[in-house]
Structure 1
């Protein structure tokens, strides 16, 4: 357990190192059981027993340090909309449903039932191929604004929107076969939202040997949006957990907020194994929003659960949420990661000039 705890602290991007970032909740539970067993069976007349308990406590503290901010006892980063704010005309509401549909999954009817039941303003699907596009296109009478990139390599993406989209672009920021989508969303009250939808490839034995490509894509988008003054939403399957070094760096560089902090983990993967779950699907947003609701929806045969987030644009930029400051060393790390992949923030579509 000490090895599992210390390995993720290394600045080494191999998949077999970065993989230990994911199961921190599972490690924490194992460490609690380990401490109980130590207290029952160790002979505390020996200093070695105290040393083992000390190591276990240290490991448990390190694991909890990362996941505790998402538990209910921690202060929220994004305030919830109060009842008196909910019906004022100057506020705009937007709901986004994000779902990795799993390319081989054929339970499209179950998924379409979920979409119709929750009726989001924007639907984002990941891993959607041509077969899934043929199923999703039945939504077009209600969702006339679309961005489509069907691929058979598990990185296809689709956006279906009730709200008008403009300046929509599909880009391959880091890898030639891994797209991202960038668009401007027009709300009924006249706001323009910069929306970026991502699904970088994970570090794994079947994908990329290291996390360099994933990290670079996340951080180049963070660099692009960090100085925007208009509302911003970045959503998708990051193939990374919210407490990892890279996603925390993404949040610091971009200045975006995480509505899950202080509310729960909202584990979206793996939908089929309750004992191996962590949050892979994300939505971050700028200070222009407050939260109406966020919920993990029921499964539909995919290995991911859908994530539904309902936000409200405020008449004035919300100023009371706390964003994490970026240390000079972290800024250097972010620049190094993007430089390794020869990408720059200018590679992202020039979106967001509208206020």
Structure 2
């Protein structure tokens, strides 16, 4: 009986490990990019169970052990960069950098525990914060924060509302609808003390799921549009938001390769933000990527705010000159894959606003406002 149970579970593990190797964009394939830590844990448990319960004199037992061990090694390859066992991609901050503190919070549109988030903002005093899934009710509550005079608001009732609040001046702010007509993104220039400016892109693409998009194409294309737009730029850039994709997925890695941006979590931890209510099903969906102009002073997952996401707080230090920090590099195959995905939606990187390159405020009527 033990052999049958371990054999069936090992077969399932192998299947779920192999599925993401496919380029198929169906949600039921791409969803297995997410639980790599959980699958690695299952593989480890199966190895222990096989060693304890199976007859190791039988070749079939070693076949099961080998399959589970191979799956464990493969899953670990993806997630190990997000542990302290890996080399840090972003340097720890030095004192002479200009501080920039950013808070990212998917608030869950139906969540009415506004004071929990407001309390965290008052406690941690971010320079900029962005809320995802925020509607007019959330905007009414957030507008009470008088310390944040610079704002871009896009209240929606479809789970894709977005608000940016800043102590620092915002320039060339634009709300864009890059791939889907009801899924916005916000692009702006943030003016730091001393006159330096940082280009920031706030994103929240729709996920592949049975209740959203049947495929990951729309999400993938939005990420790659932004990546291609900022590729080869030497300007200080930050991309942040709920990307509805895990840090280690093929798509997010491709985004990092094309854009050249760095991930401050590499070598430090996963900082899983979703699902806030289920400790056994958590992965990193809320991200802050940045150019090599920044070092890291701190990164924290903040307490529960009543949402299905935890907020995340990142302390950066800005340096006018790019530092020698190395992320992921794109090869010819990566660029071909990115182009192939963009062609699926007939999308061009020029559609992505590049604050600082133009001076405009273009918001679709009825969709948003700039305050």
Query: Into which bin does the TM-score normalised by the smaller protein fall?
Result: over 0.9
In structure 2, the partner of 1:20 is: 32
TM-score (norm 1): 0.96
1:227 matches 2:227: no
For residue 316 of structure 1, report the CA deviation from its aligned partner.
Answer: 2.5
In structure 1, the partner of 2:170 is: 165
Point out where structure 2 has 5 or more consecutive residues left out of the alignment: 1-12, 359-371
Q: For 2:356 and 2:335, how far apart are their aligned partners in 1?
A: 23
In structure 2, the partner of 1:350 is: 354
Point out where structure 1 has 5 or more consecutive residues left out of the alignment: none
1:120 matches 2:132: no
In structure 2, the partner of 1:334 is: 338
Correspondence 1:1-355 to 2 at 5 A: 1-81=13-93, 85-86=94-95, 88=96, 91-139=97-145, 141-319=146-324, 321-353=325-357
Deviates more, 1:309-318 or 1:98-107: 309-318
Number of residue pairs aligned between Structure 1 and Structure 2: 346
TM-score (norm 2): 0.92
Q: For 1:16 and 1:31, how far apart are their aligned partners in 2?
A: 21
Answer whether contact 2:178 2:351 (CA < 8 A) is retained. Answer: yes
Answer whether contact 2:172 2:356 (CA < 8 A) is retained. Answer: no
Local SS of the residue matching 1:235: strand
Answer whether contact 1:230 1:352 (CA < 8 A) is retained. Answer: no
Q: For 1:283 and 1:161, how far apart are their aligned partners in 2?
A: 16
Q: For 1:113 and 1:36, how far apart are their aligned partners in 2?
A: 45
Q: Deviations over 1:100-152 (max 9, x none)?
A: 0000000001110010000000010000001101111111x200000000000
For residue 6 of structure 1, report the CA deviation from its aligned partner.
Answer: 0.4
Aligned-CA RMSD value? 0.9
For residue 349 of structure 1, report the CA deviation from its aligned partner.
Answer: 1.1
Structure 1 segments, 4+ long, off by >2 Å, are 350-354
Answer whether contact 2:198 2:237 (CA < 8 A) is retained. Answer: yes
